Amino acid sequence: MTDIHSASANYIIALVIVFVVFVFWWLLLRKKDRHQRILLMGCSNGGKTALFSQLNFGKSFPTYMSMKENVGQVANDKHRVEIVDIPGNERIGKNLFDEYKNNVKGIIFVVDSESVQKEVKDVAEFMFNLLTDPTIRATCKEILVLCNKQDLDSSKGPAVVQMLLEKELSVLRNLKSKQLDSTSQDTGGKKKLLFLGHKKKAFEFSQLKPINVTFAESILTGSEVEESKFDTVKYWLNKF
Ligand SMILES: Nc1nc2c(ncn2[C@@H]2O[C@H](COP(=O)(O)OP(=O)(O)O)[C@@H](O)[C@H]2O)c(=O)[nH]1
Ligand SMILES: *[C@@H]1O[C@H](CO)[C@@H](O)[C@H](O)[C@H]1NC(C)=O
Ligand SMILES: [Mg+2]
């Protein structure tokens, strides 16, 4: 009789433990899930780390060559969002990107508006890889292309940056799909790559719907950090 009693007592205790562990695990998952993830991306020297420190510390620290990612929590009007600054350096950036690309709700793509014309091929290639990534396309619905360094005289405005990128992405897209055709004929294998925009039409960012790509300008360092221009980012962050 006592044996049966202690057996059922053990059974109940075990059940309670399982239940408590489950509740903790569920709460932990929920908490993690509430933090929506925003990635800062773009080629080196655009101003990602400057933006990261403006958002996290309200100022821009003298920058260093960051080899590691910076992760911070930034409050918008509703709650906190997770901001991840991934260094643009290609090899390191790629591994880190794979580590952080899950559950990304938005991307701020930072462009150096002074060198963008000269380096449009690199910028477009970076963007192409981002925009054809199936994981990103599945979860990310908002992209802000931040045309930074507007304090410099030779910088290009958002409309020009958009035009330059659309033109270069059209070229790149056609080039890549041709390369892909020839390699899949050789090997007989099918490599999955999302086609960018509409076939037979020049690429435009509006073709990426339901992803909403918007362009804005910014100044992130120096005495000219203008509140009004930086507010665009804060406004955009309230979408999450
Ligand atoms: N003139 C100017 N320089 C900037 C601006 N934003 C960033 N920089 C500078 O650009 C360089 C690269 O910035 P950083 O944030 O490290 O770029 P990252 O490589 O994308 O992280 C640094 O020397 C910054 O001080 C800006 O709005 N105007
Ligand atoms: C896209 O985002 C901008 C602001 O970033 C907003 O003004 C616009 O209404 C949005 N468009 C759509 C279709 O959601
Ligand atoms: Mg950096």
Q: Strand 36-41's sheet: what is its strand order?
A: 70-75, 80-85, 36-41, 104-112, 142-148, 212-217
Reported as type and span, the H/E element at residue 27 is helix 2-34
| Cut 0.75: pTM above it | yes
Write the pLDDT tens digit of every residue in 74-132: 988 888 999 999 987 666 667 889 999 999 999 999 999 999 999 999 999 999 999 99
Q: Which of 143, 212, 217, 240 to mutate to test the pocket of ligand 2 (most atoms within 8 A of CB)?
A: 212
Ligand located closest to 210 CA: 2
pLDDT tops 90 at residue 206: yes
State the distance from the centre of ligand 3 to the C-alpha of 41, rounded, in angstroms.
9
State the distance from the centre of ligand 2 to the C-alpha of 213, rounded, in angstroms.
8
Residue 188, pLDDT score? 47
Residue 97, pLDDT score? 92
Q: With the CA atoms of 128, 143, 137 and 183 taken in that order, what torsion angle do they form, in degrees rounded to the nearest 10?
A: 0
Residue 68, pLDDT score? 81
Ion ligand 3 residue ranges (Cβ < 5 Å): 48-49, 66
Q: Which residue has the tokens 């509006």?
A: 206
Pairwise pLDDT comparison (66 vs 35), residue with the higher score? 35
**Of the candidates 85, 88, 87, 71, the residue with the CA atom closest to the CA atom of residue 35:** 71
On average, the pLDDT of the chain sits at 87
Is the minimum distance from the CB of 44 to ligand 1 under 6 angstroms? Answer: yes
Q: Give the pLDDT mean for 172-193.
A: 66
pLDDT tops 60 at residue 184: no
Q: Which residue has the tokens 């035009």?
A: 163
Residue nearest to atom 7 of ligand 1 (CA): 47
Residue 189, pLDDT score? 45
Using CA atoms, how far apart are residues 72 and 68, in angstroms rounded to an integer?
13
Q: Is the peptide bond before 210 cis (omega within 30 degrees of 0)?
A: yes
For 156, residues 6+ apart whose C-beta sits below 8 A from its C-beta are 113, 114, 116, 117, 147, 164
Using CA atoms, how far apart are residues 190 and 87, in angstroms rounded to an integer?
31
Is the minimum distance from the CB of 212 to ligand 2 under 6 angstroms? Answer: yes
Report the atom number in ligand 2 closest to the C-alpha of 214: 5
